[in-house]
Amino acid sequence: MSSQNINLKNFSSPDSPLSGEEKKEKIKTLRAKLGELQLKIQEQKLPVLVLVEGWGASGKGSRISSMIRELDPRFFRVISVSSPSQEELAKPFLYRHMKNIPENGKFIFLDSGWMDETIRDFQAGRICVQQYLDRLEEIKIFERQLCDNGYLLVKLFLHIDKKEQQERLEHLRKNADTSWRVSEHDFWQNHHYSTCLEDFQSFMEQTNLPFAPWHIIDSTHRKQSEIDCLEILCSSIEQALMEKEAGILPISQTDPQYDPKLKTFPLVTMPLLADIPLDQEMSREEYKKQLKFYQKKLAKLHDQIYRWKIPVILAYEGWDAAGKGGNIKRITGALNPRGYQVIPVAAPKPYELARHYLWRFWQNLPKRGHIVLFDRTWYGRVMVERLEGFCKENDWQRAYTEINEFEKQLTDWGAVILKFWVQIDKDTQLARFQERQQNPDKQWKITDEDWRNREKWDQYEVAVNEMLQKTSTTYAPWHIIESNCKYYARIKTLRLLTETLEAALEQAAKHSKHSHKER
């Protein structure tokens, strides 16, 4: 059933009038139908994510096995989501779930996922009430963004009563070949059934979204629950295919309660690019002196942010030939090579294009205490993709909100985000282009695409101004780096970086001191 009203306490599935043989035949028919739908989702490039949650021993694995029986194994994957690894614990909560989203036209089946992980963390005291509520908000944003970007998310919860669970757990434990499938947590869950029931119900009530509803499956009787899972999955795919073919927008983009474009964020007022003075100068002697000073300071700060486990994200955007590469080089020259990574962002590869546009950036987020520098970023969605027609207007208009949400999740996780727009004027760009063409050692830096982009300077300036106005938030503001003078630009960036890291370390120390006093 579709759980418009979640009520696990009094939930029971109506008895089926079908005989055992009739149920077998129906399962066979539904599996064949799902196999046919698999071909259609490939044709329509519909990505399908099936999340199967439920009680321990409720049959999650066997229900997934039933659903995939007639599917082409080249186009689906089953992932059993276990406890996060040490590397995953060093990344944001959603990192390991975002990295598992399917490509267009393929299935991913998750045996447990973000629901099970969140409830376990809360029950074990690893997250407090406020952190639990914050995580619920993250999950709702995650699910909405998936649906907004063309994904079908089917959420199934397999329900059994306390007595049924206990009998199954005991049966599994007695058999040497199945005892490994039972964990201590499963028995803990059964002993605390009422508490877990309340936690499951609360979670599902708060994440029961019209575009990603929960479906409760009575998993007491295997064949009937197989039928229920298959029917829900088939009908969900048919509905999604019909809406995709008809060009119908998701509920999240038509219902004001969920429309991302209506969300507001605390913004910092930004100047227009045309109003930014670019007459700053710095002598080579002064540059060398300050470079040495700030690089020495940055090297010490790098050690400290590693000790305090603060992740740092530096996002570079700017005009071609503005000096992003040289700027990045002066920062990395001060860093321990084991503690940073530079990600040059080019046109997305086919497997990246086949997923949510933020997916490839989630893959490269830093671990706690590490620094990642992005040379070009997720802002390509509202610049290159917007101007070159690589996405629809609705997509790039919605992206302002999606990006603000993405960066808010990262700063809530504890990351420091510094976003630099490297600014030059049109004449300076032309002079640098010509220098590159005439210098054999720099010719690789200039391409036909650079010249084509230059012809669209005015259009890009409009897009950049809108980007700065809509995504310079108090938690992740934009910094304009005046770069007609490269020396000035490099020192300004180093100064901003060191000042920001010093402030973050001071805040971390205060928080630690406050927490220690509370204990």
Distance (Å, whole) CA 105 – CA 107: 7
3-class SS string, 102-135: CCCCCEEEEECCHHHHHHHHHHCCCCCHHHHHHH
**Mean pLDDT (whole number) for 74-102:** 95
* Residue appearing with tokens 């599996």: 31
- pTM exceeding the 0.85 threshold for the entire prediction: yes
Structure tokens at 441: 């050692």
Q: Tell me the C-alpha distance between 399 and 148, whole Å.
A: 10
**Closest of 270, 263, 272 to residue 404, by C-alpha:** 263
Q: What residues does 154 pair with on adjacent strands?
A: 50
Residue 270 has pLDDT above 90, yes or no: yes
Residues forming beta bridges with residue 371, ordered by sequence position:
312, 340
Burial 409-439 (b: 16+ CB within 10 A, else e): bbebbebbbbbbbbbbbeebbeebbeebeee
SS3 151: coil
**378-436 confidence digits (pLDDT tens):** 999 999 999 999 999 999 999 999 999 999 999 999 999 999 999 999 999 999 999 88
Examine the pLDDT at 484 and tell me if it is beyond 70: yes
Is pLDDT at 503 greater than 80 in this prediction? yes
Q: Is the pLDDT of residue 470 over 70?
A: yes
**The residue count for the chain:** 519
Task: Specify the pLDDT at position 76.
Answer: 97
Q: Which domains does the chain have, with CATH numbers?
A: 20-246 (3.40.50.300), 281-512 (3.40.50.300)
More confident residue, 439 or 333: 333
d(CA 33, CA 55): 28
How many whole angstroms separate alpha carbon 103 and alpha carbon 45? 8
Whether pLDDT at 299 is above 60: yes
Count CB neighbours of 28 within 10 A: 12
Taking phi over 0 as left and psi of -120 to 50 as alpha, with beta for the rest, 54 belongs to left
Residue-wise pLDDT for 105-153, tens only, equals: 999 999 999 999 999 999 999 999 999 999 999 999 999 999 999 999 9
Nearest-angstrom CA–CA distance, 406 and 228? 35
CA distances from 450 to 63, 278, 321, 346, 436 (A): 53, 22, 9, 13, 12
pLDDT for 3 equals 40
Residue 157, strand partner residues: 53, 216
Q: How confident is the model at residue 516 (pLDDT cuts 50, 70, 90)?
A: low
What per-residue confidence (pLDDT) applies to 514? 62
Long-range contacts of 243-248 (CB under 8 A, 24+ apart): 244/44, 244/46, 244/150, 245/44
Q: Using only C-alpha atoms, what is the Rg of the chain?
A: 26
Contact 416, 475 (CB under 8 A): no
37-51, 150-164, 465-479, 504-518: range with lowest mean pLDDT: 504-518
Predicted confidence at residue 518, as pLDDT, reads 52
